[in-house]
Amino acid sequence: MKRIVILFGILGLLSNGYAQNNKPTSKIERVVIEYKGKKVKARQLTVSSEIPMDLESAWANVKTPALLQFVAKGMIRFKSVNGEFPKQWEVGQSVGAKMRVFGFIPYGGTHSLFIKEVDNDNYKIVAQEWNKRAKVWNHAVVLRDLGNGKIYFEDSITIYGGAMTGIITSFSKRFYTHRQKRWQIVAKEKLNFAE
């Protein structure tokens, strides 16, 4: 528990280094989901922001594990347990990865990810994820064109980890906010991970 409190303190210091423009907003709701045939109390985390990037470029980037590595940098490092990550996310893919918080603290054993949906018409990707700590970490990414070269970007995550649900959700809020702030770098530098 002490380790988690220290991690949140460090995260608070790190998050203050970002510009406040296009600051992500977040909300957490209590929800009831089914897990292994039982109703359990979970959290629904939604983090959203505006990103100054055209929709097609953003969508091409979202579909790549290389983008995930970039936007997670500084908070979580993912290392595939199956060799290399695929070049692009596709429906039906299953990937296992070791997660290291700040690049060196192991978390949750193998993090499993199953790509459930890639909707090119509605700019949406849905993944079912889980690990030893987070029994449910179902994640949807949705993009929407706002016009004038801007998009609405939303991460929506359903989280269940038993007694650790609140702590995992609190960490996840910081992580997804960090990711969306890193998206501002992708937009500003016009990075393309789909090549």
Q: Express each pLDDT in 106-117 by its tens digit.
A: 888 999 999 999
Question: Which tokens go with 39?
Answer: 């109703």
| Per-residue confidence (pLDDT) for residue 31, from 0 to 100 | 98
CA 48 to chain centre: 11
Q: What angle do CA 19, 67, 74 make, to 5 degrees?
A: 50
Read off the pTM: 0.86
| Per-residue confidence (pLDDT) for residue 20, from 0 to 100 | 42
Structural domains counted in the chain: 1
- Asked if residue 5 is part of any domain, the answer here is no
- Asked if residue 2 is part of any domain, the answer here is no
- Asked if residue 74 is part of any domain, the answer here is yes
Expressed as residue numbers, the domain containing 120 is 29-188
Residues of the chain with pLDDT under 70: 1-21
Q: What angle do CA 14, 15, 18 make, to 5 degrees?
A: 110
- Asked if residue 89 is part of any domain, the answer here is yes
- Asked if residue 132 is part of any domain, the answer here is yes
Give the domain CATH number at 51.
3.30.530.20
Percent of the residues in the chain that have a pLDDT greater than 70, as a whole number: 89
- Mean pLDDT of all residues belonging to the chain: 90
Distance between CA atoms of residues 89 and 117, nearest Å: 10
| Per-residue confidence (pLDDT) for residue 8, from 0 to 100 | 44
Residue 37, classed as helix, strand or coil, is coil
| Per-residue confidence (pLDDT) for residue 142, from 0 to 100 | 98
- Asked if residue 142 is part of any domain, the answer here is yes
| Per-residue confidence (pLDDT) for residue 82, from 0 to 100 | 84
Alpha helices, DSSP H, located in 16-113? 55-62, 65-72
- Asked if residue 22 is part of any domain, the answer here is no
Question: Which tokens go with 76?
Answer: 């979580």
Residue with tokens 């038993």: 162
Residue 184, classed as helix, strand or coil, is helix
- Asked if residue 46 is part of any domain, the answer here is yes
Question: What distances in angstroms separate CA 103 from CA 13, 36, 69, one per listed residue?
Answer: 17, 32, 11
